[in-house]
Amino acid sequence: FGHEAFDLWRLNPGESLTTPVFSGLYTDQGFGAASREWHAYLLQHVVPRAEETRPILYNSWEATFFDIDEENQKKLARVAADLGVELFVMDDGWFGRRINDRAGLGDWWPNPERFPNGLKPLADEVHALGMQFGIWVEPEMVNPDSDLYREHPDWVYHYPTRSRSEFRNQLVLNYAREDVGAWVYGWLDDLLSRNAIDYVKWDMNRPFSEPGWPDEAENPERLWIDHVRNLYDILDRLRRAHPHVAFESCSGGGGRVDLGILRRTDMVWTSDNTDALDRLTIQ
């Protein structure tokens, strides 16, 4: 085979590469047995807190979309509590200038007009109602219309000679960069330290595009593995620092469900489609 058939990873003298983990399973009992063996393996060795029953969750998105503020979320929380909900999750729209999907992604502080006293009053109300409090984030993405992007336009994947394509008005942050990873961990750790948050819904709503890294022109393949390594490192550190917090992998509705992410998250948001009949097929 010619070398062009393979992705290349440049190793300098003295360097080494540890590849991502590959997991395989064999059975001579057919697909049903293979499925059961995988489930047993995941529950025993991969999924955190697999023995715990997951709480009944209410998510605010379909009720309010981006029209979020402290008072309407408290009202929703009271309705959810009356229904027997155990975990109330506030979705997109609580931070920065995030009044729609065109701005604010990357500016992770409570919108001062919508939450003039921060998140504490809402979290306190949710807890007083006997529920846990969860929050939505999308840490791998940024809107060009954000303070973060205006300050760090070099923090996204891009090629100097190509336009930066936006999907959902978003660009992808370069998690392969150590400074980006440090910044992401810093604000998430601060968010969880300052607020009584029990659950984090980690979303990822678009694929990579223009996956360039100008600073690593000699070894561009670092991008793919280092992004995931730093993602895993952030999640691992957050779980150690905040062991009471549960994490959900949302990723566009089930778009990232693999053993690596399942090892670090307590739940997967399988789909935005919650119609009962459709879910039979999706599940």
82 in Cβ contact with 111 (< 8 Å): no
Question: pLDDT tens-digit profile of 21-37?
Answer: 889 999 999 999 999 99
Total-model pTM: 0.94
Q: How confident is the model at residue 219 (pLDDT cuts 50, 70, 90)?
A: confident
Q: Which residues lie below 8 Å from residue 260, measured CB to CB, with a gap of 6+?
A: 20, 21, 228, 232
- The per-residue pLDDT of the chain, averaged, comes to 93
**272 belongs to the catalytic site:** yes
Going by DSSP bridges, is the β-strand pair 87-90/132-137 parallel, antiparallel, or unpaired?
parallel
Residues 267 and 277: their CA atoms lie apart, in Å, by: 21
Q: 226 exposed, middle or buried (CB, 10 Å; 0-12, 13-18, 19+)?
A: buried
Question: pLDDT tens-digit profile of 96-153?
Answer: 999 999 999 999 999 999 999 999 999 999 999 999 999 999 999 999 999 999 999 9
Residues 221 and 225: their CA atoms lie apart, in Å, by: 7
The end-to-end CA distance of the chain, in Å, is 40
Residues 102 and 66: their CA atoms lie apart, in Å, by: 11
Active-site entry in 91, 203, 226, 266: 203
Nearest Cα to Cα of residue 234 among 280, 191, 188, 193: 188
Active-site entry in 67, 190, 215, 272: 272
